[in-house]
Amino acid sequence: MTTDSVSFNAVNQSTGQLPGTFITLEGVDGSGKSTQAAALSVALKNAGFSVLLSREPGGTPVAEQIRDILLDREIESMAWSTEVLLYLASRAEHVSTLLRPALERGEVVVCDRFLDSTLAYQAFGREGGGVRVIEAMDAIRRANDLATGGLGPELTFLLDLDPSEGLNRAVIAGRSPDRLEGEGTVFLDRVRDGFLALAEAEPDRIHVIPAGGTVTDISEEIARRALSYLQRK
């Protein structure tokens, strides 16, 4: 990774004038973000909010089919741009058919992964597919705008964990690694550094939550911060 890869200007993503609130959870594989996304959705529902819980890649029938291609371990290699565009194609479908309508109805959307994952995995993890990381980030952001119409989260929780611990959790759970996890810890170390660089660039939006604690402690902390954000809004 080149040093300029962490000195980029963060592009402010936002839901603009939509009445709903878009919250994402991010982190390396095994960081517990899917569990925490589900827990946050329950906590917000209990607090009286109307919540849509979803995930990327996936979330709609077409996007789930794209997910199957992306995570298929039988596919040994894929061009970098194909991988990026498939993640973004899944996102385009997800945003236009599920997320944007929910935000227009005023719901809180809790999504397991979004653009930060594409930047962390495809720009930092894949080292820009051969171009400089900062240039890859620019290209991804531009294509992402086409896929989303500029829609992005207002609040993000980054569950930060040493990737080797995340992979251990997957082994203990008896789950076989998907195509990206199969890249191993050197790749995932770059992904983690990417996430942390993104959080450093946008500290107001991205809250870094150490993911080594108990599930309950972490979910209480995330719910507390999310409710405080929603009350201030």
Smallest separation (angstroms) from ligand TMP to the CB of 102: 18
β-bridge partners, 229: none
Beta bridge partners, 23, equal 110, 155
Q: Is 24 in the site for ligand TMP (CB under 6 A)?
A: no
The separation between CA 124 and the C-alpha centre of its own chain, rounded to angstroms, equals 14
Exactly one of 121, 124, 157, 195 binds ligand TMP (CB under 6 A); that residue is 121
Pick the binder of ligand TMP from 20, 57, 128, 153 (CB under 6 A): 57
CB 80 within 8 A of CB 122: yes
C-alpha–C-alpha distance, residues 220 and 196, integer Å: 22
Q: Which is nearer to ligand TMP, 29 or 49 (CB)?
A: 29
Min dist. Cβ of residue 219 to ligand TMP (A): 17
Q: Contact, 128 vs 136, CB < 8 A?
A: yes
| C-beta of 49 vs 83, nearer to ligand TMP | 83
Among 56, 107, 127, 154, interactor with ligand TMP by CB under 6 A: 56
Long-range pairs for 199-205: beta carbons < 8 A, 24 or more residues apart = 199/158, 200/6, 201/6, 201/8, 201/9, 201/10, 202/10, 202/12, 205/13, 205/153, 205/154, 205/155, 205/156
Chain centroid to CA 122: 12
Whose Cβ is closer to ligand TMP: residue 173's or residue 232's? 173
x/- map, 124-153, ligand TMP, by CB under 6 A? ------------------------------
Separation CA 210–CA 161 (nearest Å):
7
Contact segment (CB under 6 A) with ligand TMP among 16-24, 42-50, 115-123, 145-153 equals 115-123
Residues 151-210 that bind ligand TMP (CB under 6 A): 178, 180-181
Residue ranges that bind ligand TMP, judged by CB under 6 A: 29, 55-57, 71, 87, 113, 117-118, 121-122, 178, 180-181
